[in-house]
Amino acid sequence: MPDRPKIAVVIPCYRVRDKIVDVVDSVVALADFVIVVDDCCPDKSGAHLRKAHSDPKLTVVFHEANQGVGGAMITGFKTALDLGADIVVKMDGDGQMEAKHLPRLIGPLAARKADFAKGNRFYDLRALRTMPLVRRLGNFGLTLLSKAASGFWHLSDPTNGFFALRANALRLLNFHLLAPRYFFEISLLIQLNVIRAVALDVPIPAKYADENSSLSPWRALCTFPAKLAGGLVHRIWWRYFIYDINIVTVFLMTGALLFFGGGAFGAWRWSNNWLYGREQSAGTVALAMLPVILGFQMLLQAVVLDMMDKPDGPISDVLDAGA
């Protein structure tokens, strides 16, 4: 990366006609490229912005069909890479994310301390009080599950969409595996963990005014767990069975075999004896319980090792050195 990295700000645009011009005005002086993706907005936000803004830094891209925030961001990512950006930032078009925090967000990336930096609204308790209660409860309810699915146990506020990413790390991602809609941010974290990117939380309060969130926290709590479980399986498979095989792999395989094998044996013996009215012997109970306990301990140890496993340095630096 050059001494002064080129910054691209990508703004997915949907039903933000009244705010998009102010958002672009606030960020255009801080960025080298501002990419607004009109995701088939019914309010014609992109066309409205084009008429109101003629800055040469601005690029407006239009989707013929709505693809969701993830689809809009993938288009923005590709456009930013084509323009030669070194750092790509995501901001929403509703004004919740203030441009004054942009230097703080990209600071760790420009200093080569991380591949990815994400805003965290939970550091500032005073700012946290301004978050609507329903959103606060919804975010807290998803945090632990998101940590397990993404593998970034030290990150909080997983649905925060204010983030920055170095271009070299971005090029390693499989865009087709990123979720097209509200699960996008968490699916991005999962992909970053698979490539062993260094990620950091940056304390940045969000601003809540009169905007309406299109994602209900309760809807997320109902739909996200299944997606998070799928993301966890995907991450574990690629992280410990494809990209690398280590002691975590051994603990996972052996622990799963003992835990589920012992449980299946115990269930079979219990149902068989219940059907014929027989009592279980102490030896049979021990034969079922021992592998379950040992398997659980091994799986727990795999979780601990997964939490402790951190890359030595940003993957972007490795790619820079080999360029």
Evaluated on CA atoms 313, 318, 321, 323, the torsion sign reads: negative
**Does pLDDT of 287 surpass 70?**
yes
Rounded to an integer, what distance in angstroms lies between the CA atom of residue 138 and that of residue 161? 15
The span from the first CA to the last CA of the chain, in angstroms, equals 10
Helix, strand counts (H, E) of the chain: 12, 7
CB neighbours (10 Å) of residue 100? 11
Lowest mean pLDDT, pick from 1-15, 56-70, 89-103, 272-286: 272-286
187-224 burial, b at 16+ Cβ within 10 Å, e below that, comes to bbbbbbbbbbbbbbbbebbbeeeeeeeeeebeebeeeb
145-199, pLDDT tens digit by residue? 899 999 999 998 887 889 999 999 999 999 999 998 888 999 999 999 999 999 9
291-314 burial, b at 16+ Cβ within 10 Å, e below that, comes to bbeebeebbeebbeebeebeeeeb
207-256, pLDDT tens digit by residue? 665 555 555 556 666 777 888 999 999 999 999 999 889 999 999 999 99
Q: pTM score > 0.85 for this model?
A: yes
Lowest mean pLDDT, pick from 5-19, 127-141, 280-294: 127-141
Q: Could you tell me which CATH number the domain at 7-234 has?
A: 3.90.550.10
Q: Which of 125-139, 190-204, 206-220, 268-282 has the highest mean pLDDT?
A: 190-204
What backbone phi and psi angles, to 5 degrees, belong to 88? -115, 130
- Please tell me the predicted confidence (pLDDT) of residue 215: 57
